[in-house]
A = this chain, B = another copy of it.
């Protein structure tokens, strides 16, 4: 069977499954999730074996240690997948919720009902546990899923797909509710992202290259996450001790994450007092700093920042530092160089906080908190399929609600339009 035909069949199966899933009861969906968790528990050794094959192939083809680590499914990570399934099962079902039902002067009642998007295509790299996490979120939100993992995790993904299939067979949901593509052919991705009739949204998870390529070629709408070039702005009215803790946490808590601070902006009136202290702590933590001229006049040990530094998501122990005149220059800098992901101000000034909240156009805008809080779990969404830097539909951390949409419902008693 050629790839086009194979993918068309996958699409039709997914669309068919989505109709059944859309009306599935919460209990049936939860039982399916628990069943999959049970199968994974029972197949630990099969999963580990398949994963060992991927690791061996990866070592042979010279994957670096970081990639091999992402690929690894050890006992802890298998526990993590099982726990994840149980946690998603325990979340409230978003589907069917009706909001805003009001009577209009014509007599009709109008409201909105939350419904699944339909069919979700997820394209991801390396980490095989995404197979389970994504399947769980799609199932719970009543969507059919088509999953396409990285070729380096092919055997692991097949083993996990097998667990999902057995779990679904034990449930009242259609077995094609989750389909893991069983081909390594790259043309399958090209088909998936252009199957407008049978796929409602594509969620790519991986490096910037993957996401840009998919966004460029997709005909299906993409919920995407590009850069996380996050800023912390220390206002002249900041509590400087607090600012130091927030900036330190935002940079050093984890380096390789999208909500880590990549640029620190400091208001000129407090720069001389603030910069030496934070620079000392960051240096001790092993962070390389690249400063503007004013910053380097205060802390000469900093490297010199080049214009590219303001636009770079380092994902590393590196930080760009700039002294700005005031909140206006800070917000203008963020508007020009930010990526619309997460930006924070540290200030005790009420008006500065209000202005920053209102005027900074990012998916998360914070006052006096670490950018590291931009996360579905920290926000109380219960789970997260990614963080969207789109403006339309889901913006910021995407949980179950982001995988649903609202349709209008009208309840009448024979009304006709006059």
Beta-carbon contacts under 8 Å, A68-106 to B: 96, 102, 104, 106
A415: which B residues are within 8 A, CB to CB?
368-370, 373
Q: Is B372's CB under 8 angstroms from A416's CB?
A: yes
A411: which B residues are within 8 A, CB to CB?
366-369
Beta-carbon contacts under 8 Å, A370-418 to B: 370, 372-374, 378-380, 390-393, 395-397, 405-417
A378 to B418, CA, bound (A): 11
Among A242-250, A268-276, A298-306, the one that faces the other chain is A242-250
Among A32-40, A113-121, A125-133, A308-316, the one that faces the other chain is A113-121
What is the CB-to-nearest-CB distance from A13 to chain B, in angstroms, rounded to a whole number? 15
Beta-carbon contacts under 8 Å, A330-369 to B: 335, 344, 355, 357-359, 361-369
Closest to A242 in B: B414
| A108 interface residue per 8 A CB criterion | yes
Copies in the complex: 2
Q: Is A396's CB under 8 angstroms from B392's CB?
A: no
| A239 interface residue per 8 A CB criterion | yes
Q: Is B363's CB under 8 angstroms from A407's CB?
A: yes
Q: Is B106's CB under 8 angstroms from A378's CB?
A: yes
- Assuming the contacts A245-B414, A373-B417, A416-B372, asked whether A405 and B391 have C-beta atoms less than 8 A apart, the reply is yes
Closest to A346 in B: B414
| A286 interface residue per 8 A CB criterion | no
A125 to B362, CA, bound (A): 34
Q: Is A408's CB under 8 angstroms from B391's CB?
A: no
| A26 interface residue per 8 A CB criterion | no
- Assuming the contacts A242-B414, A361-B22, asked whether A392 and B104 have C-beta atoms less than 8 A apart, the reply is no
| A221 interface residue per 8 A CB criterion | yes
Closest to A113 in B: B357
A357 to B95, CA, bound (A): 12
B357, B362, B372, B405: the one contacting A395 at CB < 8 Å is B405
| A110 interface residue per 8 A CB criterion | yes
Closest to A104 in B: B380
A201: which B residues are within 8 A, CB to CB?
391-392
A239: which B residues are within 8 A, CB to CB?
414
Q: Is B365's CB under 8 angstroms from A407's CB?
A: yes
A374 to B367, CA, bound (A): 41
- The list of the 10 closest CB pairs from A to B, nearest first, reads A369-B412, A249-B416, A372-B417, A366-B410, A242-B414, A392-B393, A368-B412, A364-B408, A393-B393, A396-B408
14 new A-B contacts, CB < 8 A, other than A363-B407, A395-B406, are: A19-B335, A102-B380, A104-B378, A104-B379, A108-B369, A223-B392, A363-B408, A365-B407, A368-B413, A369-B416, A370-B417, A373-B415, A374-B410, A396-B407
| 10 chain-A/chain-B pairs, Cβ below 8 angstroms | A102-B380, A221-B391, A357-B409, A366-B409, A368-B412, A368-B415, A369-B410, A369-B416, A370-B417, A391-B405
Binding site for B on A (CB under 8 A): 19, 22-23, 96, 102, 104, 106, 108, 110, 113, 115, 117-118, 200-201, 216, 219, 221, 223, 239, 242, 245-246, 248-250, 253, 335, 344, 355, 357-359, 361-370, 372-374, 378-380, 390-393, 395-397, 405-417
